[in-house]
Every structure is written in structure tokens, then in C-alpha cells.
Structure 1
Amino acid sequence: MKWISDKLGNLTDIISGSTPSSEVKAYWGGEHVWITPTDLGKLEGLYITSSERKLTGAGLKNASLTLIPKNSVVMSSRAPIGHLGITTTDIYTNQGCKSFVCSSKVDALFLYYTLKQQVKKIQSLGSGSTFAEVSKSMLEDFTISFPEKITHQKQIATNLKTQLSEIEKARKAAEMKQHELKAISTKQQQTVLDILEDLPRVPLDYYLEGIEAGKSIQTTELLAKKDEVGVLKVSAVSWDKFQPDEAKAVIGNYNPPIKHQVKKGDLIITRANTLELVGAVVLVEQDYRNRLLSDKTLRLKLKPDEIIPQYLLYILKLPEARKHIEDNATGSSNSMRNISQKSICTIPIPQADETLQKEIIELMQSNRAEVKKVDEALKLMLEDLDVLPNKILDQVFNEFENE
């Protein structure tokens, strides 16, 4: 199979788009498909069949738009560069797209995969102060490699389409399984909410002996090693589990007070983070003598005979507690939020006896390990599936070009 190289301008007719005045109603709501980068970004699959907005004949005339025929490749040339699609009907585009009307030298599907494989190089050509854009002249000068015979191009493109279609099927199946797992967790949570609905509420302070905070200590920006003393970052407290590696190394030979050390059984809550994570809480499962509370990570000291730590852990994750925390968090919507100890102390807690607390814990923990294991496996699978198409494209094009 002989491969040759040529410029896109010699292989295709590259067409730019434009936009008629949005203030003139007579230009809009017609039957002519008019594609934007947003339309391309929403494509599920290869092919362009319609658009969110359509133009009238008057709109086409006003914007001096050039028709882009069926079986052309369309690429967003800004905001962002690189969304792709193949037309299944005659279309028009706005100025954020460049369309490639293929000559007899290049197959449209092959060109689609070629541009997809070369998208990073094309993006590197972009320039502009507001947002990066790649121009028509740049694309006309962009060189691609391709089999000389169109039949070979079609063969390669068809094989790629089959392989990538199977990857997409696997991705959708994994996402569907994730939705099923979420439904299981939602149903489980709803069972707990139904049990708690009629219980009286008391402020969290009712169950506390106190709240202990660390203090601001001079640290480096480096993460502390396991044998180094480190001050917890707020990222050490997530919704999943305690992350002891998320701690900044302390400068100098600091001898911390024992009360600042993180210990097994600590229920730690963050007083500062994004809106979704402020008030996040974890239960520490072992001693970490080299990890210290910061002024943004608080230890809830519970009355041992009144409440089981695991029960409170789950209650603080439920919608009622989250609403209280988010409603009382202060700060800009675009920055860190803070919640005061006073507001933490007034979080409403369903007042349950020990037997019911244990029942709630059992309900929340049932199938939890298995669901978590499957969910983590699915996340890893999706990460692999996200990068696999590019790997396949690189492998195919590099292999044939090196023949």
C-alpha cells in the first residue's frame, strides 16, 4: 500500500461559514441546517443530520453562505478547535467552522479519522487573543499522509469505524452500569430517609463534647512523605475516605502537641472548601502520628455513650445535613466557602437510640464494599476507553505510514 502526502488545500475545497443578523426574525426558523461548534460538540457519533438553529432562504442570502454538500467533513475551528462531523445532507455553518469538501483524491470518512488523529497538531496552529482559532489558509497548508488508492483509504476508514464503534458500545455499557449502581445507592439512601423522617431532630452540639482544630503552621508547598510531619490539606477529607497523603510538609523540627495528631476513630470535618465539599466528613481508621489537623480541618469530639461515630458519619452525608451546611456556608460562589463552628454545632441530627443507629449503619453499609469495588473498576475501564480511540488511531496511521 503506497502512502503519499499532500496539503489539505489540494485535496479539498475548504469553506468558511458566517452568521446572519440574529436580530432579524425573518432569517431564522427555516429549513436549512446551520452548524455551529456547539452542534458539533453535541454530536453522538460521526454524522451531522440537523442543527439546533436553522436558517431561511433570506438568512442564507444575508450571510452570503456557501452550500456544503453531503459527505463533507466539518471541523470547529474555534471555541474549541477540533470537533468533527460528516454531513449527511446539504448544510451551512457559522464562522466557527471550516468545512472540507472532498475531491476524488480523498475519502470523507478517511479524512475524518485523519483530522481526528492530527487534531493536537491542528490545535497548536491556533492563535488569537480572545480564543484560539485556526484559519482557512493554515488548514489549506496543513499536510496529511494518505494511501494513494481511494479503495485503500476506504478500507482503513471502515476498519477504524468498526473498532471505534465497539469501543463506544463498551463505554456506553460501562456508563449504564454506573447509573445502575447509583440507582442502588439512591434506593438505599431513600430507605434510610424514610426511617429517619419522623424522628425528632437535635442540634449536633447535643452529641458533642467539643470541636478541636489544628492551627496554621509554616509548611512547604510539597506533600509530606509518610515519615515526615505534615499538616492536612482540605483535600485530605473527601466523601470517600481519609487521604493521609494530602498533607503539606512542615518546615523545621516541629514537635506537635498530641491533640493535633490524627488518630484512629477521629471524625474529621472540613470548615473550608468548595460548596460541594465544605463540611465533608471522614472517619479515620488508624493512627497517623505524622499527620496534624490544620485550622481548616476540625475533629468532632463525640459523647461516646450518646452516638455511634459511623451513624453520625452517614447522617452528615444525607441531604438534610448537606442543605444546612451549604445554606450556612459563607464566601463567594467562585471561591472557597467557609462554615463556622457555630453553624456546624447547629446541624440537625435525627435523634435515634442505639438500636436504630446500628440499623441505619447496617443499611448504609450493606453491599457498600461490593458496589464500591465495581464502581472503581468501571471508572478505570472508562479511563482506558477514553484514551483507547486515540491510541488506535495513532497505531493505525503510524503503522501504515511506516510501510
Structure 2
Amino acid sequence: METCTSSVSIFTDWLTQHLEELVDDLLSVIGRDSIAASPLYGDPALQAVLRSETTLLVARIFKELESGLPSTVTSPEARHIARLAALHGTPLDDVVNAHWEAYAVVQDAYFRAAKEAAIPPDSALQLLRSACRRLLEHTSGLIDTVTDEYMEALRNNETDENALRLHAVQAVLNESGAQVGQAPYDLDAEHVAVVASGAAARAVSAYARERGPYAVATFVDEDVVWAWFSSVGPRQVRDAVLARTRSGEMGIGAAAKGVDGFRQSHRQAQAAYRVCGQTDQTGTCFADVIPESIALADLDSTRGLVQRQLGRLALDGTREAVLRETMVVYLESGQNARAAAAKLGLTERTVANRLQAVRTLLPPSAEPSSLELALALRLMPLVRRNGGARTRRADPVPAG
């Protein structure tokens, strides 16, 4: 019994350590097969909600397994996902299929855990039998729970004002309608779209109410808002929201006219929101982050660009970070070392020494004054955030 308890602990420790990787795999599978067309997968704010709730749900299953006492997993996260799916028109069959696909991904992780955690064969066999049986029971129970919650949400959505407004908005976005039903909003106007979450979402909603007939906003989750504004520019929207709060995340599209502009600005707001999530900004206008939004759409190519242009300057060390910052300020200062030194609070000689150190780290083909190098430096934080930088020992920063 002691060996069994020890094996369970080792097994669940391995699963917990690999939880984030497992959730990545799980969402990749269901996004490819079951809910690819759903806003739950396509919208960055809703995708973040789905990821958070899925992580908590899987962690609950691991915790129940670790306890050694078989019990029903009660999951508010599964209920939340069901309500979201109903609100956004994701078919119930797709939601159920997503649970079975998730079951297969987690079961594969169980077998990998038993192998990589080096659990003795006899204990591993017994453990896997128990774990897979309980996982099957949990999945069946969760599907029952989700089905009930989904059907109840559908009934509630038939009379909920926010849900009706969202469905009218979705009809326009999906090119199946040309009117935003419950809202007195002119689709022929010039639109600025917003996607926001957290405190920023509440501030956007409040600002939309103030704008009256010149705005429409709808909660697409308990803490996420989609909105459109007319007769106001992107930066005015940003400033109005940030005057209310500096918390949450918000992406703002460029102004665009008519029904096509309504859709285009929304896509841009989603892209800007995705950049917010990668750069820890509260509010971002699409026009200010076009390179970053393109880079996030193809991270492999972005990593290649950064590595080709920066070479060893892309290493994840304190020295390289200081040198990159110096190079960014130098380029922003029109390649004027004196101006860069003033901005950095350094002597001109120190800046010159750092620039010389930068040149020794760059690939021979890189041009220190090129637009490509400036772009690589700008995109470097995104690459680091997504696991693209290499680590190294600390080296001294050149001094004056």
C-alpha cells in the first residue's frame, strides 16, 4: 500500500508539472477538430477564458486522483464553458465531442506519466487501470453536467437582452445579417471596434452607455466585452477607458466604415488584444502594434527573423538585455550616440562601448542600421515570451 501511495504521488506530481503543456495539447486537438469555427477558439479573449477554465478543470481531476478516494468531480469550470458554448452558438454535439477528445489527450498523458516518471511496471499497471477508469467516469459525468447547463443556458438566452444583442452582432460578423437588432446603432457609420476583458471590459461597457446611439456593447462572457463606437477615434476610445481604469486588457481596431468596416475593425481589435496579452499592456490600438500582430500570427517565422538578425544578441542574459535596450534607444534617437546617452542617463563613451559590444554579437550579415534589425529588436520580447530565447551565463556589461 505504501508503494502504491508513493507511485500515485510520483504520478500526479509529474502530471501537475506538465499541466500547462497538457492543456496546450488538449486545446490544440479540440480547436483543430471540434470547435475550430467557434468564437471560443477564434477570439483571443474567449480563448484565454477557455484555457483558464480548462486548466482548473484538469487540475481538479488530478487532485481527485491524488486523494486516493474516488469521488465525483464537481466543476464550475465545465458549467461555465457550457454556458459560453451556448451563448456563442457552438453546437452541443461539438461540445460533447470536445470532452471525448480531451479524455483521449489526458489518457495519453497518463501513459506518458507512468513511463517518464519511471513507476515500477506492476504499480504502473494498477495505477493506470484505476486512473483511466476514474477519468472515464469523470468524463461521462461532466458530459451530463455540461448538457444540462447548455440546455438551460439556451432557454435563458431566448429572453436575455445581452444574449439577443450578441446574436444580432454575430449575425453581422458572420455575414448573415446587416442589422444590430436590439441596439440603436448605425452600421453605415465609421466604426471603432474594441475587445476588452477584466476591469477594462466594464469600463468599455460604461463608456458605450454614455455614447448612447453612437455605440453598441455586448458581454460575450461574464468578464469580456465586444464593442463598437462611431463618431470617435481609436485613441479617444483608449484614453476614455484608461481614464477609468488601468486594469484588464483591451484591443482597439482602426476606424473603418460600413458593414465591412464593422467586421474589419473587430478583427483588428482581436489582433491588438492578442498583443496586449503578450506585452502586459492595458490598452493597445491596432495601428500601433501592426508588426507585433503579424508576428504573433506566425511565431516560427518571427523566431527565424530574430535569430537571423540578432544572432548572439538574442541570448537570454542580463548583458544581452542591456545591450538590446541600448541599441533600441540608439536607433530611436536617429543613431545619435549623444542623444541616446542623454535618454539612458549614461556617458557618450559608455554608449559607444556598448554599441561596439553589440557589433561583436550580431551576425556578420546584419546591418546595425537596417530596418530588419530594428524590427527584430522590436519583436524580441514576443519571442522571449513564447520560449524563443536561449539562456546563457551572465557576462559583464561594457562600461565607459
TM band (smaller chain): under 0.3
Relative contact order (C-alpha < 8 Å, sep 6+): which is higher?
Answer: 1
TM-score, normalised to structure 1, is 0.25
Higher helix proportion? 2
TM-score, normalised to structure 2, is 0.25
Higher strand proportion? 1
